[in-house]
A and B are shown apart, each in its own frame.
Chain A
Amino acid sequence: MNAIDPEIAGQLASELPREDFVRIVRTFEDDLGRLARLLEAAVAAGDEEGYRRSAHSLAGAAAAVGARRLEQVARIAMDHRNPADPRVLALQVRQEASEALAELSALAEHPPGAS
């Protein structure tokens, strides 16, 4: 499975003017950096509420651009019944975020339908 769902991200890239899609990718990049930092800080401080709130925002941002794998990891972190170790999940978030960004940037460079 790719980091990015081509149906969602591809549709955005083809339906929006290129500059709008590029702006979305940059905004997503900013969000990832900020939210991942908040998530890690909450893990380090044992702040369960802050951890889940950051995970919720990450899941929303990821879903909006079709970053499915990142969204799944974030949703696991949001679920208080899931026994997964928050430190491990925080690492996974970083990993998935970086892969999603790479694929989105490539899509911004070569949107579907562009020659």
Chain B
Amino acid sequence: MAASAARILIVEDTPTQAEVAGALLRTLGLETRVAETGAQAISIAQTWRPDAILMDLELPDFSGFETMRRLRTEGVEAAIIVVTAHGSVNHAVEAMREGAVDFIVKPYAKARLTVTLQNALEKRALATELREAKAQLGRDRFFGFIGASATMQAVYRTIESVAASKASVFITGESGTGKELAAEAVHRASPRKGRAFVTLNCGAIPRDLLESEIFGHVKGAFTGATDSRAGAAKLADGGTLFLDEIGEMPIEMQVKLLRFVQTGTFQPVGASRPEKVDVRIVSATNRDPWVEVETGRFREDLYYRLYVVPLHLPPLRERGEDSLLIARHFLAAFAREEGKRLRGFTWEVEQVLRAYSWPGNVRQLQNVVRNIVVLHDGDRVEMSMLPPMLLRGAPGQGAVVPDPVGAPPVEPEALPVVPPCVAKEPPVPMPAQPAPTFAPHQAAPLAPPPQNEAFQPLAEVEKRHILAALDRVAQDVPRAAALLGINPSTIYRKLQAWRSDASG
């Protein structure tokens, strides 16, 4: 029989009947256990996780129906086959209503039992497969992430696939896409979840302290080292060490990190003997790591050690409806926190949120929603509550404001892709703040070139000027357009053309 290794729980209080069922099942190569009461059945099912249950309806403590209900409540998903006596077909019908997959009338022959079990196990396998497939496709939350888009489903699947291994994971993505969340998810989905998850931001630690922060130091190792101190590598022993902004690590420190990654051993600053630990390393950067290698800022050998499983986090503008899903989540959380009534967004606001390019990604969206909740109240978030940066460049003011009479909203796919490496920390939205003026500094493209400098092609000057404006406003196209006094579509068109030139 197909399910030869399946586990079958026999729930039966009359030993003869349990013995007959057990003997028949054993001849089919199945593993069996017997529960004589409903309570015992629940207890065994929770720990032993049977594939199918042969359920008698008359039990000493409570009925088979009640046992079935409690099993479902406890999350037991075994296929339940109700065993009924002659003439109790009504019971069988009721059992099916309670979720049994089939019933069998006793006394039953081996052939009948075989077919019934085979069908039940196949049904269960299909149901499990379907549920898992649905869960894979339809997840809108995953550890700390919120997002149901196809791009995020791929991220969730990668995290799940790599979690069990010790392989190093290298996370890339623009600022605000959730790199630390992803690192934490890798840790929490892994067998190391019970041990420490230690984060070290390589870009935030002064260069001369970095070695001590990672590997620790002994007392007297340097001026001010009044006590021995364990570093991140030691603290993460058995767990996960997350090296954020790894691209910022000085090259001389990269040599020491390489040795640690290769051997699992390190030497605290000032110590005479090395120490060995078991650490899984997850690194992240918002730069292109290979470009860093090519420009000599990152060691190639370390790159290959760390870049074992790449995990790219998509920017919010490539996540379709996720921006709304996340905005709703933040709105509910901040409204609760601030004691405000805000419960949703108007249709127009939703179109703006959907169409905006979110150069600062989720962190920027979070700031925008918090800003709205702090400054406003009402049932729903309206257009007048949005910070100007979301509205600038719309027709009239002109940008992403949709036609209220139902013109098709701007599709996120139609928005330009902002060059990924130039996204800066998102600006905190300040609705009352006037638009910053763009005052070109000395080397700005509009300044006349000095007498002895050759003239540049106008197209080059224009490109530099537009990119400088975009840099100034955190890649916010409508805002850059407002600064330059042109229509945002002009910038979109230019970006598109430059990208084509670059790829062609």
Contact = CB atoms under 8 A, between A and B. Distances in A.
Interface stretch (B17-25, B65-73, B191-199, B346-354): B17-25
Nearest to A31: B16
B106 A11 contact: no
Contacts of B262: none
Interface of A: 8, 11-12, 15-17, 20-21, 23-24, 27-28, 30-31, 56-57, 59-61, 63-66
A43 to B, nearest CB: 20
A107 B397 CA distance: 97
6 contacts: A15-B24, A16-B27, A23-B23, A57-B14, A59-B85, A65-B16
Given A11-B109, A66-B107, A61 B23 contact: no
A47 B128 CA distance: 47
A65 B58 CA distance: 19
Contacts, number: 61
A23 B19 contact: yes
A31 B15 CA distance: 7
A30 B15 contact: yes
Interface residues of B, number: 19
Contacts of B14: 31, 57, 60-61, 64
Given A16-B23, A17-B27, A60-B106, 16 more contacts: A8-B109, A12-B23, A16-B27, A20-B26, A23-B19, A24-B20, A24-B23, A28-B16, A31-B15, A61-B17, A63-B85, A63-B86, A63-B106, A63-B107, A64-B14, A65-B16
Interface string B20-54: 10011011000000000000000000000000000
A24 B27 contact: no
B19 A24 contact: yes
Interface of B: 13-17, 19-20, 23-24, 26-27, 56, 58, 85-86, 106-107, 109-110
A31 B16 CA distance: 7
A24 B15 CA distance: 9
Nearest to B15: A27
A57 B110 contact: no
A5 B26 CA distance: 23
A52 B138 CA distance: 52
Given A15-B27, A20-B26, A56-B58, A61 B110 contact: no
Contacts of A63: 85-86, 106-107
B85 A27 contact: no
B150 to A, nearest CB: 53
A57 B15 CA distance: 10
B106 A15 contact: no
A13 to B, nearest CB: 11
Nearest to A11: B109
Given A23-B23, A27-B19, A8 B85 contact: no
A98 to B, nearest CB: 16
B24 A16 contact: yes
Nearest to B58: A56
Contacts of B13: 57
Nearest to A5: B107
Contacts of A11: 109-110
Given A16-B27, A56-B58, A8 B107 contact: yes
A111 B395 CA distance: 94
Contact of B110 (A15, A28, A59): A15
A64 B23 contact: no
A92 to B, nearest CB: 19
A10 to B, nearest CB: 11
Residue picked from B14, B15, B58, B109, most chain A C-beta under 10 Å = B14
